Amino acid sequence: MEEQGLKVSDSENAADMTDLLAELACTHDALRRAARQLGNLYDEIVSPTGLKITQLVMLGQIESLQQGAGPTLQALAKQLPIGISALTHALRPLVRDGIVQLQADEEDKRIKHAVLTPLGQEKLQEGVKLWRVANCRTEAVLGANAAFLLRDLAGQVGSDDFLKAYKSGFNAEKP
């Protein structure tokens, strides 16, 4: 028997799949939704700087890794962690707007270092003050203990140890 182009067995399989999907607690989906919502809220608060929270984080990493000539793009990409092509794409508007300067390495001209300009320093200082507001609001809503736990768990999931443990226990044929 067919019903709107589907066989009954296909319709039953689709219903079973829908029930199964409804029962799954997907950690990935929950984290993505949370990250997107927090990102949007933090973006809104730091918007007077003209930066997104991800750009502010990048400026903070450049500042924290700055030793002499500034961090290499490879070191910065590893710290963020993103690929080098994504990093160079993300740096373009910051370079264009005079917030970050890319300088060639003195010994190997192929290597580039990221350095905050005076404007970049100003944007970072302004952004950190606004970030603090966003972070305090997040802690106030979640509570200090829950906010600590959230950061701790996210840190664990983002660690190399988690990656190694996950991959070593992964078998594609058996969930």
What pLDDT score does 106 carry? 86
Residue 1, pLDDT > 60, answer no
Residues 39-97: tens digit of each pLDDT: 999 999 999 999 999 999 999 999 998 777 789 999 999 888 799 999 999 999 999 99
Residue 173, pLDDT > 80, answer no
Is the domain 2-142 a CATH 2.40.50.140 member? Answer: no
How many CA atoms lie less than 13 Å away from 175 in the CB half-sphere?
1
What pLDDT score does 2 carry? 47
Q: What's the rounded mean pLDDT across residues 110-121? A: 94
pLDDT band at 109 (very low <50, low <70, confident <90, very high): confident
pLDDT band at 16 (very low <50, low <70, confident <90, very high): confident
Q: What's the rounded mean pLDDT across residues 146-166? A: 93
What pLDDT score does 81 carry? 79
What pLDDT score does 3 carry? 47
Residue 175, pLDDT > 60, answer no
Residues 127-155: tens digit of each pLDDT: 999 999 999 999 999 999 999 999 999 99
Residue 107, pLDDT > 90, answer no
Domain borders along the chain are 2-142
By CB neighbour count within 10 A (0-12 exposed, 13-18 middle, 19+ buried), where does 167 fall? Answer: exposed
How many CA atoms lie less than 13 Å away from 59 in the CB half-sphere?
28
